Amino acid sequence: MSSADQLELSPSRLESASEQLGNDALEARFTADLMSVAGGPLGDPEIGIGVRAALIGLGRAYGDGFRTVANELDALAAQVTSTARLAVLVDNNVAGYFTPSDAI
Partner 1 sequence: MTLAGAAARFDYPGDDPAALVAAADQLDLAAARVDRLTQSIQLSRQALREAWTTQAAELADADIGVLATGLPVVRSGLDAAQAAVLTHRGTLTRIRADVDELRIRSLRAEHAIAAADAKFDELADRTDPMSGLLRQSAEDAGQAATASHQSVAEEYQQLVHQANTSAQSCADALASAWDPAGRSRSSNLADPGGVLLSRGGMSVSSLSMLRIQREVEEAIALATQIDGLQQPTATDPALQQRVARLAAIWDKDSDNGVFATRFFSTLGADGTVDLLARVGTLIQPTGPAGTGALTDELIRGLQTDLGAGLAMSTTGIEYGPSGLLQDSMPGGLSVDWLTALMARGRSQITVPWNDVPIQVSGYVPLMATLAQGQGFSAGVLRALGDDMRDMEVQYAANGNGAGDTVWSSTAPVRVRWDWSTDGTRFPMGNDPFTSWTAAMMGSPGASTTVLATDPALLNHLLNGRSWLLRDSGEDFGATQWLYRVADENEPLEGLAAFGNALPAMVGQGALSEDSATAFNNVVRALGDNSWNARIDAGDFQESDWIPPELRPGVGTMLVLNADTLNSVFAEPNSVGSEAFSRVLADVAKDQGTDANGHTVIDRLMSAQYSVIAAQSVDGAISTADLEAQARIAATLAHGHGAANIGLQQTSDAAHNASVATVAGVVQLGLDHSPTPVTWTTQAYQLFGGDLVQGLTSQFTQDTALPARNETSDWTSSLADEVMQTSRNQWYAFVFDELPPPDMPGVQLVDPTGRPYAWSELDRTSALWAVREWPPDREKPRQISSQMWTAFDGQVAAMKAYRIPYADGT
Q: CB 28 → partner 1: shortest distance, Å?
A: 6
Binding site for partner 1 (CB under 8 A): 1, 5-6, 8-10, 13-14, 16-17, 20-21, 23-24, 27-28, 30-31, 34-35, 37-43, 45-55, 57-58, 60-69, 72-73, 75-76, 79-80, 83-84
Q: Residue 32 and residue 21: Cα distance in Å, rounded?
A: 16
Which secondary structure element, helix H or strand E, spans residue 68, and what is its range? helix 52-92
Q: CB 102 → partner 1: shortest distance, Å?
A: 15
Of 72 and 92, CB closest to partner 1 = 72
Which secondary structure element, helix H or strand E, spans residue 23, and what is its range? helix 11-36
Of 17 and 104, CB closest to partner 1 = 17
**Exposed, middle or buried: residue 94 (CB in 10 Å: 0-12, 13-18, 19+)?**
exposed
Q: CB 50 → partner 1: shortest distance, Å?
A: 5
Of 68 and 92, CB closest to partner 1 = 68
Distances (CA, A) of 13 to 20, 43, 45, 62, 103: 10, 50, 55, 32, 9
